Amino acid sequence: MKSKTPAQSATINTEVVLPNDTNHVGNLFGGKLMQWVDITAAIAAQRHCGRVVVTAAINHVSFDNPIKQNSIVTLDAKVSRAFTSSMEVFVDVFVENTTTGAKTKCNEAILTFVAIDQNGSPLPVPPIVPETESDKKRFDGALRRRQLSLVIAGRMKADDATELKALFS
């Protein structure tokens, strides 16, 4: 299976925050943002593997800054690492200043997707070859994040989490 770069899965989605997307104080609902994140990340994962994908986990979501009504929100997703049948997808969320065009990062999310066949069985996915420094940093951290998730879920023994143990040794 031919390797791919994170750039080959890059997916950009732009949304405007409408009144029905906001809570009582005029900020974007976290659930609405998570919906946009999940869709954008799924497209990136599907671009990477060329298969149907399903969300296996939402590993991390940060709501660092509120997003106000009428904001223009850009979600930038790409696969950071691929394992046997799963892929970690990183999503950066930006708010655009409509006057200056400047974009400010306000949130991020990390999700895991699995490629599946028509019966719902996992399929192999292409490996990732990181290119940029950011890609390499995210690629390197993905194994630690995966091991941590597996340990927390009880699917890996802490003693077997070699990457995590290396952080503390």
Phi/psi for 18 (5° steps) reads: -95, 165
Q: Which of 111, 113, 114, 119 is nearest to 93 (CA)?
A: 111
CA 10, CA 5: separation in Å to the nearest integer? 9
- pTM score over 0.85: yes
Please name the residues in contact with 158: beta carbons below 8 A apart, sequence gap of 6 or more.
Answer: 151, 164, 165
What is the tens place of the pLDDT at every residue in 70-126?
999 999 999 999 999 999 999 999 999 888 989 999 999 999 999 999 999 999 999
Cα dihedral 40/41/43/46 (nearest 10): 180
pLDDT, residue 147, reads: 87
Integer Cα distance of 104 and 93 in angstroms: 8
Q: How far is CA 23 from CA 17, 19, 60, 118, 157, in A?
A: 11, 8, 22, 39, 41
For 157, the token pair is 């023994």
What sign results for the dihedral spanned by CA atoms 12, 18, 23, 25? positive
In 3D, which of 165, 2, 31 has the Cα closest to residue 109? 31
Domains (range + CATH), the chain: 6-130 (3.10.129.10)
- Tens of pLDDT, residue by residue over 25-51, are 999 999 999 999 999 999 999 999 999
At residue 67, the 3 state secondary structure works out as: coil
Q: Which two tokens stand for residue 19?
A: 């009144």
